[in-house]
Amino acid sequence: MSQSLDNRPLDVADADPVARLAERLMAKYRGRITGQRVIPAREGDYADFPGELDPRLAAALRARGVTRLYSHQRAAWDRVRAGQHTVVVTPTASGKTLCYNLPVLQDVLTVEAKALYLFPTKALSQDQVAELTELNQVGELGVRAFTFDGDTPGDARKAVRTRGDIVVSNPDMLHQGVLPHHTKWAQFFENLRYVVIDETHTYRGVFGAHMANVLRRLRRICRFYGTNPVFILSSATIANPQELAEQLVEDEVAAITESGAPAGEKHLLLWNPPVVNADLGLRASARSQATRIVRTAVRAGLKSILFARSRLMVEVLTKYLKEVFDSDPRKPEKVAAYRGGYLPTERRATEKRLREGDIHCVVATSALELGVDIGALDVAVLNGYPGTIAATWQRLGRAGRRERAALGVVVASSLPLDQYVIRNPDFFLGASPEHARIDPDQLLILLDHVRCAAFELPFREGESFGGEDLGEMLAYLAEEGIVHGEGDRWHWVADSYPANSVSLRSVAEGNFVVVDVTDGGQTIVAEVDYASAPMTIYEGAIYMIQAQPYQVETLDWEGRKAFVRRTKADYYTDAIDYIRLKILEAFERAGQGSGEAANGEVHLVRRIAGYKKIRYYTHENIGFGDISLPDQEMHTTAVWWQLGAGVLEANFPSRQQALDGFLGAAYALHHVAALRAMCEPGDLGRAVGDGDAEWFATVGASGRGQIKHFDGSEAAPGSVSPETKDLGATRSGDPEAQGRFVPALFLYDNYPGGVGLSAPLYDQRQAVVTQARELVAACDCAHGCPACLGPILASDAERGFSPKGAAARVLELLGGGAEP
């Protein structure tokens, strides 16, 4: 049943085409809409230009049609001019750029100050320089604003260092290209008055921990040159913007959270695809529903953006929409894809076409979630819940810029988190956005940046850097021959260049280039980051660019090149990966229910074993292929649950039943844990195995659980009786259980070294299990479905038991207590 959460009724006759589209969808698909809201248009709250504003700057603003400021822009001016670090948290397209450009340009024009702008992506940097250049030209300000990133030519870098008033860069370039070479930047640092950090909400988790340490190093170098810049931060809406900003800069930060910008009316629909198989609880795909909505919007003349959760899905959705709107090659294309991996020139061209209104629909990943100017859009459709409330509102906010009315539609997939949100609209529409968490003193990350800081400047005795004991870390580095203590200073003595070996975002260095060899050519058509390469450009993979399929013929792993050829395949490929975990150390352990829970350190090995061929539209598997690539390894932290061999034998008559129960329970626990930790599901990984890396469990093509050794060989399900001794040892602590089938259920931090998610989950272990039991019990399916157990499906009549019942029993035994 639909739940109305309006601010005003939707049945008002309205000439606005966005309102008409919302009305049409509500009337035709009312049974699929679980929640809806209309956010009324908002008048602007304005303030006059400051009296001390430089006349040249005021004239430039008027030339661009700006005759007064929004109230939050004036508040930011007042705080920054008073020397306060400031974070501005207002909606998308509310004029945050002027909050930092105005005070920065004022001091560049009047006292020859310098400013450093940091953006998380190159696209945002380019966008900002274009904005500054336009203001420069209309006002003839003479301000020199340059980008400094990996694309900056070598012969231009000296000019940027010595002549730039505003240097626009990114954290990675600051980390590797500026701070280690600060002596070349002496003139810049001696006059550095402002540091601008845009899209602050992106600096969370492992990236945020690295960023906080990079800023520690930046402030340390600024002190060396006698400066103490004011930090100006801007962010999308999160629950703790001030706290995050203060963690990043390690100082008091004033927060401006009330927007004075006007906004058009916004319509929001929460959409659950219809059930197509009631027995199995299967719903129509989110893909089919999202493309249906977008087709309706485009045909109504509305400009749309469709967000997908993966690069592969961007290409699949783009193909479906291009076949509808771009089948005639004589007409201009209406549909374009936008994602990471495309060449910069192609992304810039797409952004330009969006701004100019030439594209009717863009299909994008989170790459367009951030504030790149893409002009005025009318409709934002989300193919699946992004994982957080903050990210959802950020994506929905890409439509309705420049005071236009907008429609946002969140289409749920079958994932448990999607189904929870879509069935409980009050949770989404009434809850505050998530907290952004960082742990800058995570030991491995901190130690990496202590190395980098020691290379940049000697450490003095008694100096601090982070919350851990710096003296201990320096003594350790001295033992390793990296630093040397002399008098009251620690000097760098190693030959290595530490910043090069520290990546702020990924495990390893080196992007792969995709080379098109069609018709004997050698054209670079895309880039793929190291982490994504094993899953996307293995030999035999179908790699798509703007929905054009290429087949990977050869992958040169060492040379970081994939050679591809155009093809007309009627399928796409999806890699299959295996995860095995070995418990290294349990930091904490406690009994829970009939089993136990623990938190500790694990070693993880990920193997990309093969791939599926999936036909377009029907999405049926039509074949498999093998992949031979190096294993990916990392140490991380995890929380895990385990039941003793005796408990399993008493409660499950077969190993298959226990296995399906553990795999289904793991799926439910994973999504509940992501919700409780207020992180994205991808920040956590899940696995079922023995804890000794002897075997792991996975879901086979039949929907049944399988036990596999890491060489890919499968062990027969069999009995769970004491005689079953073919699957290695156990970490349960029960000597009687040695050699028996004793699976462990793991949730692990999906980052090297961990980012502090598993310890809080261990503290909440009872609540996590209880909520997972409630999720499974509340699901409408009879025996298990993708909304509660994932791919463990009750489609096999010969199974003889309910996978849903098995998962519920596992969760009951792990959590104890009565049935929910």
Give the tens place of pLDDT for each residue, 183-235: 999 999 999 999 999 989 888 777 888 999 999 999 999 999 999 999 999 98
User: Could you count the other beta carbons within 10 Å of the beta carbon of residue 331?
Assistant: 9
**Which residues fall within 8 angstroms of residue 615, CB to CB, at 6 or more apart?**
570, 571, 622
Q: Judge whether residue 429 has pLDDT over 70.
A: yes
Tell me 357's DSSP state.
T
Q: Are 528 and 575 in contact (CB under 8 A)?
A: no
Please state which of the ranges 123-132, 171-180, 356-365, 478-487 shows the lowest mean pLDDT.
123-132
DSSP 579-646: EEEEEEEEEEEEEETTEEEEEEEEEEEEEEEEEEEEETTT--EEEEEE---PPEEEEEEEEEEEE-HH
Q: Judge whether residue 588 has pLDDT over 90.
A: yes
Q: How far apart are CA 459 and CA 212, in angstroms?
A: 18
Structure token pair of residue 294: 């977008």
Percent of the chain residues topping a pLDDT of 70: 89
Q: How far is CA 316 from the centre of its chain?
A: 20
Q: Judge whether residue 13 has pLDDT over 60.
A: no
Query: For strand 114-118 and strand 192-197, is the pairing parallel, antiparallel, or unpaired?
Result: parallel
Tell me 175's DSSP state.
I
232-248 burial, b for 16+ CB within 10 Å, e for fewer? bbbbbbbebbbbbbbbb
User: DSSP H helical segments within 629-730, as ranges?
Assistant: 645-651, 655-677
Sign, Cα dihedral of 277, 278, 282, 287: positive
Give the tens place of pLDDT for each residue, 658-709: 999 999 999 899 988 887 776 667 778 999 988 888 888 887 656 677 787 7
Q: How far apart are CA 348 and CA 341, in angstroms?
A: 13
Q: How far apart are CA 346 and CA 477, in angstroms?
A: 45
Query: To the nearest whole number, what is the mean pLDDT of the chain?
Result: 85
**Which residues fall within 8 angstroms of residue 203, CB to CB, at 6 or more apart?**
120, 171, 197, 211, 212, 244, 248, 436, 438
Residue 790, phi-psi category: left (phi > 0), alpha (psi -120 to 50), beta (remainder): left
Q: Are 528 and 511 in contact (CB under 8 A)?
A: yes
Strand order in the sheet with 523-528: 523-528, 512-516, 561-566, 548-556, 542-545
Q: How far is CA 406 from the centre of its chain?
A: 25
Q: Judge whether residue 733 has pLDDT over 50.
A: no
Q: Judge whether residue 152 has pLDDT over 50.
A: yes
Q: How far apart are CA 470 and CA 464, in angstroms?
A: 6
Q: How far apart are CA 47 and CA 386, in angstroms?
A: 36
Rounded average pLDDT over 735-745: 64
* Residue tagged 């701004």 (tokens): 355
Please state which of the ranges 54-63, 614-623, 672-681 shows the lowest mean pLDDT.
672-681
Q: Is 343 helix (H, G, I), strand (E, B) or coil?
A: coil
Rounded average pLDDT over 53-75: 94
Q: Judge whether residue 2 has pLDDT over 60.
A: no
Q: Judge whether residue 14 has pLDDT over 50.
A: no
Q: Are 465 and 450 in contact (CB under 8 A)?
A: yes
The reported pLDDT for the residue numbered 741 is 76
Q: How far apart are CA 35 and CA 241, in angstroms?
A: 28
pTM: 0.77
The reported pLDDT for the residue numbered 373 is 67
Structure token pair of residue 56: 């040249």
pLDDT band at 638 (very low <50, low <70, confident <90, very high): very high
Please state which of the ranges 97-101, 129-133, 293-297, 453-457 shows the lowest mean pLDDT.
129-133
Structure token pair of residue 760: 């809080």
Q: How far apart are CA 169 and CA 150, in angstroms?
A: 9
The reported pLDDT for the residue numbered 379 is 95
Give the tens place of pLDDT for each residue, 443-452: 778 899 999 9
Give the tens place of pLDDT for each residue, 242-253: 999 999 999 999
Q: Are 803 and 581 in contact (CB under 8 A)?
A: no
The reported pLDDT for the residue numbered 279 is 66
The reported pLDDT for the residue numbered 293 is 96
The reported pLDDT for the residue numbered 81 is 96
Structure token pair of residue 414: 């079958």
Better-scored residue on pLDDT, 195 or 1? 195
The reported pLDDT for the residue numbered 10 is 36
Whole-angstrom distance between the N-terminal and C-terminal Cα of the chain? 23
Tell me 461's DSSP state.
T
751-782 burial, b for 16+ CB within 10 Å, e for fewer? bbbbbbbbbbbbebbbebbbbbbebbeebebe
Q: Are 791 and 744 in contact (CB under 8 A)?
A: no
Tell me 241's DSSP state.
H
Give the tens place of pLDDT for each residue, 360-419: 999 998 877 776 667 778 999 999 988 778 888 888 888 886 677 899 999 998 877 788
User: DSSP H helical segments within 700-778, as ranges?
Assistant: 758-763, 765-778
The reported pLDDT for the residue numbered 738 is 42
Structure token pair of residue 372: 């790149």
The reported pLDDT for the residue numbered 665 is 93
Tell me 723's DSSP state.
T
170-186 burial, b for 16+ CB within 10 Å, e for fewer? bbbbbbbbbbbebeebe
The reported pLDDT for the residue numbered 507 is 43
The reported pLDDT for the residue numbered 222 is 97
User: DSSP H helical segments within 403-501, as ranges?
Assistant: 416-423, 425-430, 443-456, 470-479
The reported pLDDT for the residue numbered 7 is 32
Biggest CA-to-CA distance, the chain:
88
Q: Judge whether residue 770 has pLDDT over 60.
A: yes
The reported pLDDT for the residue numbered 786 is 66
Better-scored residue on pLDDT, 620 or 260? 260
Q: How far apart are CA 27 and CA 551, in angstroms?
A: 44
Better-scored residue on pLDDT, 787 or 708? 708
Q: How far apart are CA 791 and CA 380, in angstroms?
A: 29
